[in-house]
C-alpha cells in the first residue's frame, strides 16, 4: 500500500505538477488548496499522511498554525514548507514546532525529492518508536512493584483488583520516593484504558497561571502571549488517564475548576465560551496529608471526597526493608547497563549498611545511592566507600579529622560535581602527582586523566607542579 503525501498548495500549476510527479514516484497524493480543507482532512476525516508538503502562506492563513495544531494532537507526520517569501521569524518558528525542513521557491525538483525521501524515513522511524512505546504500555505489569514483604504483596493485591475495574478517580498517598509515579503507570498501562494516552503533570512544578493554561488549554488571545490556540492536558488525556502528581500543591482556585471538570466531564479552555466533553480517569498523588491540608483551609474537602473513590497509601521502604534483597540487585543491574559497568559482588558489610539505614527518601534515595556507587565502581565489587549514608558517616564537603574524604548527600552537589571534587582533593593530597592520585582512588593514571579532562581539570604529568583548569 502506497504511503500518503499531503500537498497543500494554492498555485494551480505547481500543485498539479507536484501531484503528477509524486504520484509517479509511488506516493498516494492528496491535494488541498487551502488550510481549511487540509485541516478538515487531518482533524476530522482521519487522514494520516507520512509527509506533508505545504506552502507557508496560504489564502486563509499561515500553515505553521496548522502544524502546531497537529503537534498538539501528537500527529507524527513530517512537514516540509515551501515559500516564496519566508521571514526569519517563520523559519525559527517552523523549527521550534518541529518542521522537518524549510525550502524557498523555486525549489529544484531533485533537492525536493531528496528532502521528501529523508522526511519519509524520519516519519517511519517515529512511527516505529510510537508503536514500540505503545507496545511498551503493557510493560508495566503489577509485578513491577517489587518485593516479597507483606506490605509489597498487599500493594500488588490492591493493584490487581484496581486494573480490572473502571474507576473514575483515586488518590495515591505515601512518603516521597515510595513509587507513586510507578503505581500510576501500572494502573493506566495495565488497566482498561491502556490504549489511550497517559498524561502526567507535576502540580508543584508550575506557577498557578501556567498550570491553569496547561491543564485547561486556551484560545488565541486569551492572555498576553497566547498567540495560538492550545489544547490543554485534560483534553489531551481524553479517553485515557490524567496523572496529577503533588496535587496538594495546586492552588485552591484551580481545585474548584478541576472539581467541575471531574463532575461534569466537560472542560472550557481559557478565553473560550464553549465547553468540550472529556472522558478522563484522574489519578492524584500527594506526599502530604490531604485531610490536614483541608483542616488548614488549603485543600477543598469536596475535591478530596470526589477523588477518593479509592485511596492507596504506599508503604515506606523502612516498613519493607527485607525487599532490599530483591530491589538492590535489580537496580544495580539497571545502572550496570546504563553505565557499562559490571558490579555484581555485594559484601556483607555493604548489606548491613543498606539494611540498617532508615531510607527517609525511600526507593528514590536507594536508587540515587546505588547509581552513585555503580558509576564510581572500578570492577565487579560494589564500592562500599561510596555509600556515604547519612548517620553512618560524617558529611562535611571535604575531609574529616581522620583525613577521610566525605561528601554531602543533601542534594547540594550533583554526581558530576562530586566526582570533580574528589579528583581535585586527590590531586591536592598527592601534591599533584597523577600516579599517586590515581593510586589513592584505586584507579589507573589513564582513567584518572580521562575523568579529569571530562570535568575540565588538567591532570598533571609527573613533572607538573599544579593543575591548570
28 band by pLDDT with thresholds 50, 70 and 90 = very high
Class of domain 317-393: mainly alpha
Helical segments of 104-251, H only: 109-136, 150-162, 180-189, 208-216, 233-236
Q: Do domains 140-313 and 317-393 have the same CATH topology?
A: no
Tell me whether residue 373 is exposed, middle or buried, using C-beta atoms within 10 angstroms of its C-beta: 0 to 12, 13 to 18, 19 or more. Answer: buried
414 band by pLDDT with thresholds 50, 70 and 90 = low
Q: Which CATH superfamily hosts domain 4-135?
A: Response regulator (3.40.50.2300)
List the chain domain ranges: 4-135, 140-313, 317-393, 394-469
Least confident of 31-40, 247-256, 419-428: 419-428
Tell me whether residue 349 is exposed, middle or buried, using C-beta atoms within 10 angstroms of its C-beta: 0 to 12, 13 to 18, 19 or more. Answer: exposed
Beta bridge partners of 438: none
Taking alpha carbons only, the member of 388, 360, 370 closest to residue 327 is 370
pLDDT digit string, tens, across residues 42-54: 988 888 899 999 9
Overall average pLDDT of the 233-258 stretch: 94
139 band by pLDDT with thresholds 50, 70 and 90 = low
Q: Are strands 78-83 and 51-55 parallel, antiparallel or unpaired?
A: parallel
The angle formed by the CA atoms of residues 338, 342 and 346, to the nearest 5 degrees, is 115
Residue 315 has pLDDT above 50, yes or no: yes
Residue 1 has pLDDT above 80, yes or no: no
Which has the higher per-residue pLDDT, 408 or 163? 163
Q: What long-range pairs does 135-138 form, CB within 8 A, spacing at least 24?
A: 137/188, 137/189, 137/194, 137/195, 138/189, 138/190, 138/194
pLDDT digit string, tens, across residues 455-469: 777 666 544 444 433
Residues in the chain: 469
Residue entry with cell 531528496? 114
Residue entry with cell 510527479? 21
pTM of structure: 0.58
pLDDT digit string, tens, across residues 209-223: 889 988 998 887 777
Which has the higher per-residue pLDDT, 300 or 137? 300
Class of domain 394-469: mainly alpha
Maximal C-alpha separation, the chain: 84
The mean of the pLDDT values for the chain is: 85
Class of domain 140-313: alpha beta
pLDDT digit string, tens, across residues 362-407: 999 999 999 999 999 988 999 998 998 876 543 334 454 455 566 6
Amino acid at each position: 500500500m502506497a504511503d500518503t503525501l499531503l500537498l497543500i498548495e494554492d498555485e494551480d500549476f505547481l500543485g498539479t505538477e507536484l501531484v503528477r510527479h509524486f504520484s509517479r514516484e509511488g506516493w498516494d497524493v492528496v491535494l488541498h488548496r487551502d488550510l481549511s480543507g487540509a485541516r478538515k482532512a487531518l482533524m476530522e476525516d482521519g487522514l494520516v499522511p507520512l509527509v506533508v508538503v505545504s506552502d507557508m502562506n496560504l489564502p486563509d492563513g499561515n500553515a505553521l498554525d496548522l502544524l502546531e495544531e497537529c503537534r498538539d494532537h501528537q500527529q507524527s507526520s513530517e512537514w516540509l514548507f515551501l515559500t516564496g517569501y519566508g521571514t526569519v521569524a517563520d523559519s525559527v518558528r517552523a523549527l521550534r514546532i518541529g518542521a522537518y525542513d524549510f525550502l524557498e521557491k523555486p525549489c529544484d525538483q531533485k533537492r525536493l525529492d531528496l528532502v521528501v525521501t529523508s522526511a519519509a524515513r524520519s516519519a517511519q522511524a517515529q512511527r516505529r518508536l510510537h508503536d514500540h512505546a505503545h507496545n511498551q504500555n503493557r510493560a508495566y505489569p503489577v509485578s513491577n512493584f517489587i518485593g516479597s514483604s507483606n506490605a509489597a504483596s498487599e500493594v500488588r493485591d490492591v493493584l490487581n483488583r484496581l486494573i480490572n475495574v473502571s474507576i473514575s478517580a483515586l488518590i495515591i498517598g505515601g512518603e516521597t520516593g515510595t513509587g507513586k509515579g510507578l503505581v500510576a503507570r501500572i494502573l493506566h498501562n495495565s488497566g482498561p484504558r491502556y490504549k489511550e494516552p497517559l498524561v502526567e503533570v507535576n502540580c508543584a512544578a508550575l506557577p498557578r497561571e501556567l498550570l491553569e493554561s496547561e491543564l485547561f488549554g486556551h484560545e488565541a488571545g486569551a492572555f498576553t502571549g497566547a498567540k495560538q490556540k492550545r489544547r490543554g492536558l485534560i483534553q489531551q488525556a481524553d479517553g485515557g488517564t490524567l496523572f496529577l502528581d503533588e496535587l496538594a500543591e495546586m492552588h485552591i482556585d484551580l481545585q474548584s475548576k478541576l472539581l467541575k471538570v471531574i463532575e461534569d466531564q466537560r472542560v472550557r479552555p481559557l478565553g473560550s465560551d464553549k465547553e468540550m466533553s472529556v472522558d478522563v480517569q484522574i489519578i492524584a498523588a500527594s506526599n502530604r496529608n490531604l485531610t490536614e491540608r483541608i483542616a488548614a483551609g488549603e485543600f477543598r474537602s469536596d475535591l478530596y471526597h470526589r477523588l477518593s473513590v479509592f485511596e492507596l497509601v504506599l508503604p515506606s521502604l523502612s516498613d519493607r526493608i527485607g525487599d532490599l534483597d530483591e530491589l538492590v540487585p535489580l537496580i544495580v543491574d539497571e545502572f550496570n547497563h546504563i553505565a557499562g559497568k559490571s558490579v555484581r559482588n555485594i559484601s556483607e558489610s555493604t548489606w548491613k549498611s543498606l539494611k540498617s539505614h532508615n531510607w527517609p527518601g525511600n526507593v528514590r534515595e536507594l536508587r540515587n545511592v546505588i547509581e552513585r556507587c555503580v558509576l564510581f565502581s572500578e570492577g565487579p565489587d560494589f564500592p562500599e566507600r561510596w555509600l556515604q549514608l547519612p548517620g553512618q558517616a560524617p558529611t562535611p564537603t571535604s575531609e574529616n579529622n581522620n583525613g577521610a574524604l566525605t561528601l554531602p548527600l543533601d542534594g547540594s552537589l550533583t554526581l558530576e560535581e562530586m566526582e570533580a571534587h574528589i579528583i581535585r582533593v586527590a590531586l591536592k593530597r598527592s601534591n599533584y602527582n597523577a600516579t599517586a592520585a590515581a593510586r589513592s582512588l584505586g584507579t589507573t593514571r589513564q582513567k584518572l586523566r580521562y575523568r579529569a579532562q571530562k570535568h575540565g581539570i588538567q591532570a598533571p604529568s609527573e613533572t607538573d607542579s599544579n593543575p591548570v583548569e
